[in-house]
């Protein structure tokens, strides 16, 4: 039996510094676990950087700030919505039983109010974008709404999360350019495989509890083949990221940071173990660094050089 992990580290900033009355609300939005904010925000930043680099420009800092705020709010709304839908499952899983809704600290009605409030502020940010980007943002709601149900109907809810979490790559690109091009679609594909890899690693934590609760996951489907599968997902993420830069005409300064991205992913794949849920959580959290490396690579690609990337 593998000892269950807590839903968040006991020394997180919410438990240490936030007023007691605010702690359940901050935990409902997962602000005690900021890695998810980074992983939702970084694809948007990457899309912004790619769009700028294709025009020989650095990312627009105003869009970077807007996507940071929007990612924090939409991630909070998504987590609260997920907890509303999954409250019965969460009560059966040791890692999630203490979350605000299954533990009784926040009612379902209160959680819905939280979701609506976060979405309204995010809508104000979305309405500052070009019309095509606004349509893309609205379209993402279908992915978000369906995600909590995927673990009931497919062994691959991690793939659906990949489609959902990386929508920001398309949205960031469209916010800058007003449309989409092939490089943005390839970047979206890279993010999909990246998320499929890191969320498969994340699911190792809940392997036994998911089996008891009847929850499906890529790890339960892959079993002992999980480490090899993660390697395949990460190789595909790296290759499609290169393809995005190549088709976008990015410059040679893209290559050193993207090499760090590739090395980081390979290190994760080499260390994945079904018997090490603590290590799996650490590997998952390290993906903030991996995503930042890809963002920096795309931003650096704004320098075109004499002959482009290759």
How high is the pLDDT of residue 145? 83
Give the list of residues 6+ apart from residue 3 with CB closer than 8 angstroms, or none.
Answer: none
Give the list of residues 6+ apart from residue 256 with CB closer than 8 angstroms, or none.
Answer: 297, 300
Structural domains in the chain? 16-300 (1.10.357.140)
Query: pLDDT (tens digit, 0 to 9) for every residue of the chain, 310 residues total?
Result: 344 445 556 677 787 888 888 888 988 999 888 888 999 999 999 999 999 999 999 999 999 999 999 999 999 998 998 889 888 777 777 777 788 888 888 899 999 999 999 999 999 999 999 999 999 999 988 888 888 788 888 888 899 999 999 999 999 999 999 999 999 999 999 999 999 999 999 988 877 767 766 778 888 888 899 999 999 999 999 999 999 999 999 999 999 999 999 999 999 999 999 888 889 999 999 999 999 999 999 999 998 654 555 5
Q: DSSP letters along 280-292, please?
A: HHHHHHTHHHHHH
Alpha-carbon gap, residue 137 to 126, rounded angstroms: 7
Alpha-carbon gap, residue 180 to 51, rounded angstroms: 9
- Residues 258 and 245: beta-carbon distance below 8 Å: yes
Q: Is the dihedral of CA 212, 156, 7, 25 positive or negative?
A: negative
- Residues 197 and 73: beta-carbon distance below 8 Å: no
Alpha-carbon gap, residue 159 to 76, rounded angstroms: 20
DSSP assignment letter at 250: -
CA-nearest of 41, 40, 30, 39 to 8 is 30
């Amino acid at each position: 039996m593998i000892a269950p992990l807590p839903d968040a580290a006991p020394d997180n900033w919410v438990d240490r510094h936030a007023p007691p009355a605010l702690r359940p609300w901050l935990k409902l939005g997962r602000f005690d676990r900021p890695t998810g904010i980074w992983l939702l925000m970084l694809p948007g930043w990457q899309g912004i950087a790619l769009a700028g680099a294709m025009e020989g420009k650095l990312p627009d800092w105003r869009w970077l700030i807007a996507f940071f705020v929007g990612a924090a709010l939409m991630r909070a709304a998504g987590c609260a919505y997920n907890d509303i839908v999954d409250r019965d499952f969460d009560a059966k899983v040791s890692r999630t039983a203490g979350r605000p809704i299954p533990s009784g600290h926040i009612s379902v009605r209160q959680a819905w109010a939280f979701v609506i409030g976060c979405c309204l502020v995010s809508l104000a940010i979305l309405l500052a974008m070009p019309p095509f980007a606004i349509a893309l943002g609205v379209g993402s709601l279908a992915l978000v709404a369906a995600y909590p149900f995927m673990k009931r109907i497919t062994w691959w809810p991690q793939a659906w999360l990949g489609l959902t979490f990386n929508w920001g790559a398309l949205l960031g690109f469209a916010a800058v350019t007003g449309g989409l091009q092939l490089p943005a679609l390839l970047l979206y594909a890279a993010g999909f495989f990246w998320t499929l890899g890191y969320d498969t690693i994340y699911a190792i934590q809940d392997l036994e509890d998911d089996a008891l609760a009847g929850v499906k996951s890529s790890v339960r489907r892959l079993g002992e083949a999980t480490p090899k599968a993660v390697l395949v997902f990460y190789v595909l993420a790296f290759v499609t990221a290169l393809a995005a830069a190549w088709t976008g005409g990015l410059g040679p300064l893209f290559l050193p940071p993207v090499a760090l991205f590739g090395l980081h992913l390979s290190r994760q794949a080499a260390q994945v173990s079904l018997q090490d849920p603590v290590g799996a959580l650490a590997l998952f959290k390290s993906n903030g660094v991996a995503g930042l490396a890809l963002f920096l690579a795309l931003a650096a690609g704004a320098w075109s050089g004499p002959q482009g990337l290759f």
